[in-house]
Structure 1
C-alpha cells in the first residue's frame, strides 16, 4: 500500500519519502520514481532517534514541509492467543502501536509548520470488531483508530488534520498463499488492489473525513458492531480467521 501511495503522489508531482526496513524494496522504489522525486531511507519505526533522523533529512529535501505523514508500517503475527510466543505479541504492539505513536510524536513540529497538513494512519477492518486468530493485531488497530479520533480533536488547534484508513483484504504478495484467490469476488470481504488504498490517501488529503473504509461497505460492519456486538460475535463463530501462525507486514 505504501509503495502504491508513493507512486500515485509522485505521478501527481509530489516529492515523496519512502521508509521501510526493506532496503532492497526502497532502492527499487527510488529507481522507479527517480531520485529527484523521492527520498528513501531505511527506518526502524520503533526507534525514536532513527525516526527523528529520518525526518531531519526529509525536511530540507521537501522544502521544510510535511504535507502528509502516512503511518503505514505494521506487522501481524497470528494464531491462537494462548499459543503465540510472547515475543511475537510484544513485537506486534511495538511496531503497530508504538511505531505509530513515535512517528506522530516526532513529526508534530513539522506538521504544525505545514499549513493544511494531514496525519494519516493505517488502521484495519479488524478495528471494527476484534478478530479471532489475530487478536493482538486487532487490538493494536483498535488503538490506532481511537488515537486517530482523539488526536483529530487535539490537533485541530494546531492546524493539523488527522484521519485513518480501515482496509479490508488487500491483495498484496504479503497475504498468506491462496487467500486473495479464494476471497469472494464481491462484498466487503473481497480482495482489494492496493491502488485503491493509495487513492483513498489522496482523497483524504483533499477532504476532512475521519475514517476511510476500503471497501466502503466495511462502515456497515462498524455500525453493526457498535449497535449489537453480541450478534457480530455470534456470526463470527468460534473459528479463527488464521488457523496457524502467519506474519503480515505493511507494504
Structure 2
C-alpha cells in the first residue's frame, strides 16, 4: 500500500487531494499549520489517514513531520508540496512583509520539503514528488507579483530536480492550474481573475495531481501539467507566440474595466 504526504492539506486543494488518494487506497498524511482542521479531516476519512502539524517555512517542522509520518506509514512514496499563500493588489500597496511571507511559504516551503524528504524518498520502493505550481508561472502576472514569481520558482525547482533526481529514480513533476474555487481567491484584487473567471474546482486539480503521481514513468511524461482548458491554451500559446505578443495578451488580461 503506497503512502502520500500532503502539505497544506487541511482545506482547499490539499483536502481534495487527500480525499481522492484515500479513496484510491493510499495511506494519507494530512499535514498543515492548522492542526485541528487537519485532525478533523483525518478523522472523517478513516484509519488510513493521519494528521500532523507542519509549518512549511520551517525546516525543523518538516523534519519532525516526515519522521512522524514515516513512523506511521512505513515509507514515503509521494510528496505533494501543496501549501501556499497569495496576496493580491498593486505591488507597491502590498506590504513588503507580505511579499516576503509569500516567498517563505511558496518557495522555501517547497525547497524545505524536497530537501528534508529526499532521504525517505530514496528508501521507498516507488517515489515521486508533485509540486503545486500555477498558470501564473507561464507569464508574470500584474497585481500578483510575488505569487507569480513564487510559482515561477516552483516551476524551476521542479524542472531542475526532475533532471537531478533521475539518478535516484525519483520523478519531480508539477501541476499548473488557473484560478481555483478556494478561499485563496475570494476577494482577490486582480483584474486577471475578473477577466478570466474561476472555473476550476479543487477536485479538478486533485484529479490531475493523481494523474501525475501515478502516470507511468517515461521520457514522454511531461514535467508540467496545465489544469483546465484555459491554462492549457495559455501554456500552448506562450510557447509559440513572440514575446511582445505574450506581453500584450497578458496586459489585456490585467486591464481593469
TM over 0.5: yes
Structure 2 partner of 1:214: 227
Is the 8 Å Cα contact of residues 91 and 145 (structure 2) preserved in structure 1? yes
For the pair 1:131 / 2:141, whether they are aligned, the reply is: yes
Corresponding residue SS for 1:76: coil
**Which protein has the bigger helix share?**
2
CA contact (8 A) 2:135 2:177 kept: yes
2:212 maps to what in 1?
A: 204
Q: 1:178 to 1:54 in 2, by over 3 A?
A: closer
Aligned to 2:22: 10
Report deviation, 1:238: 6.7
Q: Is the 8 A contact 1:67 1:118 kept in 2?
A: yes
2:101 pairs with 1:91: yes
CA distance in structure 1 between the aligned counterparts of 2:151 and 2:242, rounded to whole angstroms? 20
SS in 2 for 1:75: coil
The residue aligned with 1:195 is 203
Higher RCO, 1 or 2 (CA under 8 Å, sep at least 6)?
A: 1
Matched residues in 1 for 2:210 and 2:102: separation? 27
Residues 167, 41 of structure 1: alpha-carbon distance in 2 compared, 3 angstrom cutoff: same
TM-score, with normalisation over the residues of structure 2? 0.85
Distance 1:173 1:85, change over 3 A: closer
Are the structure 2 counterparts of residues 241 and 72 from structure 1 closer, same or farther at C-alpha, using a change threshold of 3 Å? Answer: farther
Is 1:62 equivalent to 2:73 in the alignment? yes
Gaps of 5+ in 2: 1-12, 216-220
| 2:226–2:235 Cα contact (<8 Å) kept | no
Q: Give the Cα–Cα distance (whole angstroms) in 1 for the partners of residues 185 and 91 of structure 2.
A: 20
Q: Report what 2:87 is aligned to.
A: 77
Deviation at 1:175, TM superposition (A): 2.3
Aligned residues: 236
111-120 or 208-217, larger mean C-alpha shift: 208-217
2: CA distance, partners of 1:178 / 1:230: 27
Q: How does 1:1-251 map to 2 (within 5 A)?
A: 1-34=13-46, 36-63=47-74, 65-177=75-187, 190-207=198-215, 208-226=221-239, 227-237=241-251, 240=254
